[in-house]
Amino acid sequence: MQFKIKFSTSLKTAFTLFLIANLSSFVQREKPITETFKIITFEEFELMMNKDSEKLRVFNFWATWCAPCVKEMPYFEKVAAEYPEIELIFISMDDGRKPERVTNFIETRKVKSPVYLLNDIDYNKWIDKVSEDWSGAIPATLFIKADGSKLFHEGEVNESELRALIAGIK
Amino acid sequence: MKKITKTLFALMLIFALSPLVKAQTEGYQIGDKATDFNLKSVDDSWVSLSGINGAKGAIVIFSCNTCPYVVAYEDRMIDLHNKYAAKGYPVIAINSNDDKVSPGDSFEKMQERAKDKAFPFPYVYDKSQDVIKAYGGSRTPHVYLLNKEGDDFIVKYIGAIDNNYQDASAVTERYVEDAMDALLSGNKIAVETTKAIGCTIKWTKAE
């Protein structure tokens, strides 16, 4: 009997905590999704890539269905949050006909950095313009320094590999 | 003097080894001779390039079960095989994903997928990943069109199947079919390499 009471109390506590956690994250979301998500063409991405910036810009190419991409995203957000000079931008390769897959992902995973869905599937026309070193596999990441120089990395990274990559170009 | 000899020897060793390293990371270029393989297919038979009767070449496609791009292209892979196998160029689909990293890509799951889709072509497992490393495949799907010249299989085209994974009826560039048709009619292949977004290969992790 005592066990039963204890169990139900702890279940209640857990549920309350769960509610609070969800509520607080809901409150914490400063910006509506329309400000952090947009569907873009390659030309728009190219303008974004080529514009002047005083920051080290990190463009991470990913998709909601790509397990290694989803795994590495929190490392990018964590490291970017530590360095004010880094601007992190996620470029989604998801199906442009189903953007809700991306917006749902942003909300449930609480992605803070801006996400753009690059809606151009004529891949051979533009992959080399991002980097000739890119075979097309995702995840992949393009780093652009304030002086315009670029570094491209294809493949999944863990947190220490990401830190080493950033230390190497800073 | 001894030191110089040693340095020279070391340098020579580096130069001698560098093409090996390069070959491993970059794989084949157009015109290279593709290595043969002997891999187990979903029907438990062993498949090699030289073992295919009457083959004039092959459409080798690095594939898997779990990549949405592959799923989008499976019917087109079947069409390619049905169109070109009789002309001597069968499709050979190769899964190189490690099944510990990606359990959905195990040999048993390959058998299930082949049965569900009634693949008319061999679907083989490159468990050691030696074949994909030799070829330089980096994503799925990744096509290598091979032409048999003498006893050698020469790489003629590397890249994507076409330029619209979402909608087969909206394709405007049929890279593999164009390359195949040029090859069959003795013309030069206009587009020899293409790139496409694809799923990374699930490489075996070092123990």
In 3D space, the residue among A105, A78, A83, A110 whose CA is nearest the CA of residue A94 turns out to be A105
Residues of A in contact with B200 (CB under 8 A): 66, 68, 137-139, 154-156
Give every CB contact of residue B183 below 8 A, 6+ residues apart in sequence: B57, B145, B147, B156, B189
Neighbours of A79 (CB within 10 A): 18
Residue A33: which pLDDT band, with cuts at 50, 70 and 90? Answer: confident
Strand (E) or helix (H) holding B34: strand B33-34
What confidence tens digit (pLDDT) does each residue in B185-195 have? Answer: 999 999 999 99
Task: Tell me the average pLDDT of chain A.
Answer: 88
Q: Which residues pair with B193 in a beta bridge?
A: B158
Neighbours of B193 (CB within 10 A): 14
Q: Do A122 and B164 touch (CB under 8 A)?
A: yes
Q: Which of A68, A93, A135 sits opposite B138 (nearest CB)?
A: A135
- Whether the complex's predicted ipTM surpasses the cut of 0.90: no
Give the domain ranges of chain B: 27-200
What confidence tens digit (pLDDT) does each residue in B71-84 have? Answer: 999 999 999 999 99
> Prior bond to B141 cis, omega within 30?
yes
Rounded-to-integer distance, Cα A39 and Cα A102, Å: 10
What confidence tens digit (pLDDT) does each residue in B36-67 have? Answer: 999 999 999 999 999 998 899 999 999 999 99
Give the domain ranges of chain A: 1-30, 31-169
Rounded-to-integer distance, Cα A62 and Cα A113, Å: 13
What confidence tens digit (pLDDT) does each residue in B83-112 have? Answer: 999 999 999 999 999 999 999 999 999 999
Strand (E) or helix (H) holding B188: none
**The domain A31-169 belongs to what CATH superfamily?**
Glutaredoxin (3.40.30.10)
Q: What's the confidence (pLDDT) of residue B18? A: 42
The amino acid present at A169, given as its one-letter code, is I
Rounded-to-integer distance, Cα A167 and Cα A80, Å: 12
For residue A66, what is the nearest residue in chain B, using CA coordinates? B199
Residues of B in contact with A68 (CB under 8 A): 200, 202
Q: What's the confidence (pLDDT) of residue B21? A: 38
Rounded-to-integer distance, Cα B29 and Cα B193, Å: 9
The residues on A that touch B, with CB distances below 8 Å, are: 65-68, 93, 95, 97, 121-125, 127-128, 134-139, 154-156
Q: What's the confidence (pLDDT) of residue A32? A: 74
Task: Tell me the average pLDDT of chain B.
Answer: 91
Give every CB contact of residue B45 below 8 A, 6+ residues apart in sequence: B122
Rounded-to-integer distance, Cα A114 and Cα A38, Å: 9
Q: What's the confidence (pLDDT) of residue B177? A: 98
CB A74 within 8 A of CB A105: no
pLDDT above 50 for A9: yes
Pairing assessment for the beta strands A140-144 and A137-138 based on DSSP bridges: unpaired
Rounded-to-integer distance, Cα A136 and Cα A134, Å: 5
Residue given tokens 């979903």 in the structure block: B42
Rounded-to-integer distance, Cα B60 and Cα B133, Å: 14
Pairing assessment for the beta strands A37-40 and A115-118 based on DSSP bridges: parallel
Matching CATH number, B27-200, of 3.40.30.10, 3.40.50.300, 3.30.565.10, 3.30.1360.20: 3.40.30.10
